[in-house]
Structure 1
Amino acid sequence: MKKGYIVLLVLFMFFGFSLEAHADSKEETQQSIAQLQERLSQLNDEISTSVVQQEELEKQIATLDQELVEQEKKVTGMNDKLTVLEKEIQERVRAIQLTDANQKAAFFKVDGWSKMLGSVKGVEKVQKADAARAKEYTELVEAITKQQKALEKKRQEYQAAQDLLKTTIEKQNASKAELEKELKDNEALLAQIQEEERQQELALKAQQEALWQQVVLGENITTSFATNEEMSQKAQDIILSAKQYLGVPYVWGGTTPAGFDCSGLMQWVFAQNGIGIPRVSQAQQASIKEIPISEVQPGDLVFWGRPAHHVALYIGDGYFIQAPQPGDVVKITHNSWYPFESAGRVLN
């Protein structure tokens, strides 16, 4: 009897240990999956953000380039005008010198006196013209100096933008290389993530299909949400706008129906309904009123990370519409599969 008890105790300890080890193993796997998803999301956000910055810098450089050309033309034109003015002044100086010499030669002649006295008014006019020309010359030199400084400043701005663009592209390429390495090093885990996501979708299939049909058909989707998740007409319009882009591929830096990144989709959908929000997820998170996750309602934005590296549109009942990552498309996802970490309200 005592021997049998010992055997049972040993078996219990063995199986208990095995179950605990299995639970620990599963928990570690889930933790690894969550960490990988976080890293991939952050890398995608870094790439998308750098793509946006690159586009903005390229536009800025194009504008600066045009401004630089105009500034150079302005300086060249003013220098040309200065050259002409200098030539006129030099010719006038020579003319005055010749006149003075002639006047001195005729000083003691009666007819010379007569001519000089008769031309006093003419001399005054010439003097005034010379003074005006001298003033114009001085002002033009000052203006050229000012424009040359402006030109140099514009050249410095242009070079700074070029340097920043180079750094941005280098950072973007580094993030892409790191992302490719993450994907290669975690092929098995990624396969497991895809399988678990498939199983999760199957488990929620009936509920999701009902929501999907109502969204796609444009029916009154408020009926599928809990009673405490009342939806305004504006929120419903935004959600119905978002549903039009289900299936659109994810594109780094994408802001149009040809392809979206996560924040590009949000900006586009709200803009279609007359509401402007910032371009990238971090700025979207910072610009709107944060609310407790427990109070999230349809039409709110939900975020991952602080500052955010991912954003989606909450549509109710635990679901949100998102542009997930490269190789995927705009789709509906449930919070139980990919829990959001914070929320913010755009609509009043």
Structure 2
Amino acid sequence: MKKLYIAVIVSMGLFCFMTPAHAEPKEETQQTITELQERLSQLNDEISTTVVEQEQQEKKSQALTQELTIQEKKVTDMTDKLTQLEKEIQERVRAIQLKDADRKVNFFQLEGWTKMLSSIKGVETVRQSDDAKAKEYTELTENLTKQQKELEKKQEEYKTVQEQLQTTMATQQSSKEQLEKELKDNEALLAQIQEEERKQEEATKAQQEALLEQVVLGQNFSTSEEVSDKAQAIILSAKQYLGVPYVWGGTTPSGFDCSGLMQWVFAQNGVSIPRVSQAQQAAVKEIPVSEVQPGDLVFWGRPAHHVALYIGDGYFIQAPQPGDVVKITHTSWYPFESAGRVLY
């Protein structure tokens, strides 16, 4: 995969940022760049989503393995207990058959009411003991049947999860192969864009720093966008992770994917949002792109294959793709397609 990561680094020109004061991507290549952006973003999202699914399915598989072990032991213990009870009942039946005649004769040979009453109580005790064993046998048999059905259900569930896991891993591998092919096929274009990206980053560095300083101070932006206290806190949280590498399925400061970063920074500020970009898009209140404000989420695709945090003046913080890091990008280079409000 080292080759894939190196190739992806070259592709970062697709996600460079700029302001209207700087040159737009060359007109003759803009459509090609946009289409390539879309394909790479979709493939990365597919891979990242399958990584999340794989983790969930593996956890479920591990939990089911433990449940199966416990359930199998229940069935084994219950089967052993039932076998022992059957043996005791069989021995009791043989004993009754052998001694029944003698008991009847002895009963009529007893002298006195006290001995007779004692004998009757003894017979009743035996009867009650036999009834208890019969009841225990019936209940144990029914419970064993129930536990065996539960075991079969868990075995079927485990099989289904394993099949889903195999499908997920196959999809993930296919997406990785397609991504590598796209990068290889567009190597020349990506190489041309790489230098332009470097220049754009240098050109907007001062403007980004000024923008973040405005956020720190809670000031209005040049476009009269206002920053609420909660949005300001979330943006400042996201700022802490600039430079953190992109990782497929990443959800921690050791590495983020696009939606993992969004979930993390909102959670750091007591706001819960779903895990993946499609679910985040579905969960927020959609707003017109023209009304986007700092603290809103911005999306690409429907269902979304990429998500970022809008911070004002056309800028957003995103985790782009493998080989890149959490960074600030301007919409003039990578325009988002829809927006949603989390904070009201």
Q: TM-score band (shorter)?
A: 0.7 to 0.9
Q: Is 1:44 aligned to residue 34 of structure 2?
A: no
From 210, 213, 216, the counterpart of 1:219? 216
Counterpart residue number, 2:20: none
1:211–1:221 contact (8 Å) kept in structure 2: no
Give the 3-state SS of the residue equivalent to 2:249 in structure 1.
Answer: coil
Find the aligned partners of 1:131 and 1:209 in 2 and give their Cα distance: 85
From 311, 320, 325, the counterpart of 2:307? 311
Counterpart residue number, 1:18: none
Question: Which residues in structure 2 correspond to 1:317-336 (within 5 Å)?
Answer: 317-336=313-332
For residue 162 of structure 2, what is the amino acid of its counterpart?
Answer: Q
Tell me how far 1:125 sits from its aligned partner. 1.7
1:106–1:112 contact (8 Å) kept in structure 2: no
Find the aligned partners of 1:110 and 1:43 in 2 and give their Cα distance: 95
Find the aligned partners of 2:229 and 2:138 in 1 and give their Cα distance: 67
Q: Is 1:291 aligned to residue 287 of structure 2?
A: yes
Find the aligned partners of 1:100 and 1:132 in 2 and give their Cα distance: 20
For residue 329 of structure 1, what is the amino acid of its counterpart?
Answer: V
Counterpart residue number, 1:168: 168
Find the aligned partners of 1:164 and 1:143 in 2 and give their Cα distance: 31
Structure 2 unaligned regions, length at least 5: 1-25
Find the aligned partners of 1:122 and 1:93 in 2 and give their Cα distance: 17
1:221–1:192: structure 2 CA closer, same or farther, 3 Å change rule? Answer: farther
Counterpart residue number, 1:56: 56
For residue 216 of structure 2, what is the amino acid of its counterpart?
Answer: E
Tell me how far 1:36 sits from its aligned partner. 0.5
More displaced, 273-282 or 126-135? 126-135
The structure, 1 or 2, with the larger RCO (C-alpha pairs under 8 Å, 6+ apart) is 2
Tell me how far 1:72 sits from its aligned partner. 0.6
Find the aligned partners of 1:58 and 1:110 in 2 and give their Cα distance: 74
For residue 72 of structure 2, what is the amino acid of its counterpart?
Answer: E
Q: Give the TM-score of the pair, scaled to structure 1.
A: 0.86
Counterpart residue number, 1:136: 136
Give the 3-state SS of the residue equivalent to 2:230 in structure 1.
Answer: helix
For residue 273 of structure 2, what is the amino acid of its counterpart?
Answer: I
Give the 3-state SS of the residue equivalent to 1:312 in structure 2.
Answer: strand
Find the aligned partners of 2:197 and 2:290 in 1 and give their Cα distance: 24
Find the aligned partners of 1:271 and 1:293 in 2 and give their Cα distance: 24
Find the aligned partners of 2:282 and 2:50 in 1 and give their Cα distance: 19
Tell me how far 1:135 sits from its aligned partner. 1.0
Counterpart residue number, 1:344: 340
1:200–1:337 contact (8 Å) kept in structure 2: no
Question: Which residues in structure 2 correspond to 1:152-191 (within 5 Å)?
Answer: 152-191=152-191
Runs of 4+ residues over 3 Å off in structure 1: 103-107, 109-118, 198-206
2:216–2:236 contact (8 Å) kept in structure 1: no
Counterpart residue number, 2:242: 246
From 210, 222, 229, the counterpart of 1:233? 229
More displaced, 232-241 or 124-133? 124-133
Give the 3-state SS of the residue equivalent to 1:290 in structure 2.
Answer: strand
**In the TM superposition, what whole-angstrom CA distance separates every residue of 1:308-348 from its partner, at most 9, and x where no partner exists?**
00000000000000000111000111110100000000001
Percent identity between matched residues is 74
Calculate the aligned-residue CA RMSD, in Å.
2.0
Tell me how far 1:35 sits from its aligned partner. 0.4
1:241–1:272 contact (8 Å) kept in structure 2: yes
1:118–1:234: structure 2 CA closer, same or farther, 3 Å change rule? Answer: closer
Find the aligned partners of 1:246 and 1:62 in 2 and give their Cα distance: 35
Tell me how far 1:106 sits from its aligned partner. 5.4
1:241–1:269 contact (8 Å) kept in structure 2: yes
Find the aligned partners of 1:92 and 1:82 in 2 and give their Cα distance: 15
Counterpart residue number, 1:19: none
Give the 3-state SS of the residue equivalent to 1:219 in structure 2.
Answer: helix
Give the 3-state SS of the residue equivalent to 1:308 in structure 2.
Answer: coil
Find the aligned partners of 1:110 and 1:300 in 2 and give their Cα distance: 98
1:128–1:339: structure 2 CA closer, same or farther, 3 Å change rule? Answer: same
1:246–1:329 contact (8 Å) kept in structure 2: yes
Counterpart residue number, 2:89: 89
Q: Is 1:34 aligned to residue 30 of structure 2?
A: no
Counterpart residue number, 1:195: 195
Tell me how far 1:101 sits from its aligned partner. 3.0
Tell me how far 1:222 sits from its aligned partner. 2.7
Tell me how far 1:103 sits from its aligned partner. 3.3
Q: Is 1:67 aligned to residue 64 of structure 2?
A: no
1:33–1:193 contact (8 Å) kept in structure 2: no
Number of residue pairs matched by the alignment: 318
1:308–1:110: structure 2 CA closer, same or farther, 3 Å change rule? Answer: closer
Tell me how far 1:70 sits from its aligned partner. 0.6
